[in-house]
Homo-oligomer: A and B are copies of this chain.
């Protein structure tokens, strides 16, 4: 049945489906991201926590670098600064972070984590860690490692291609 189609339109037949898009990198990456978001959201729901992936990433970065400004934060977790504005808004609205004023730059906001934010971070982080494994279901440990290595390699190489490249500001700064 598929063999017949393969004779006529080879591009329509892949291992995973009929339409060519099913075998495209873009489609597969989007699907895995979709699964990743669903697993994250589901696990947070089970914990009774309202926290999105970006919000966790931002919280983690603010916690790591107290007083960080929004632009640096955006670069640190590879998001658009316009997007980060809203994320920071919601984190502050939940009382997880504070938006202070920067001493050096009157334009900039100095972000710090609150005790509530720290407590939530401590509480959810173990679950975030174990959840990473569930994202890559159907693979054995060796395959997971392999996939993670390939993802790291290609995201590193393609970093500047994205509209919001990752900027590791503290690289080489600290002693």
The 8 A CB mask of A50-71 against B (1 = contact, 0 = none) is 0001001100110010000000
- Complex CA gap A136/B156 in Å reads 10
Partner of A135, one of B26, B35, B133: B26
- Complex CA gap A64/B22 in Å reads 13
Chain copies in the assembled complex? 2
Q: Which residues on the B side are within 8 Å of A57 (C-beta)?
A: 21, 27
**Contacts A/B (CB < 8 Å), 14 sampled:** A16-B168, A17-B166, A24-B128, A24-B132, A25-B135, A26-B40, A29-B36, A30-B53, A32-B158, A34-B162, A34-B164, A39-B161, A137-B161, A138-B153
Contact surface of A with B, Cβ cutoff 8 Å: 1-5, 12, 15-40, 42, 53, 56-57, 60-61, 64, 76-78, 128-129, 131-133, 135-139, 143-144, 146-148, 150-159, 161-164, 166, 168, 170-172, 174-175
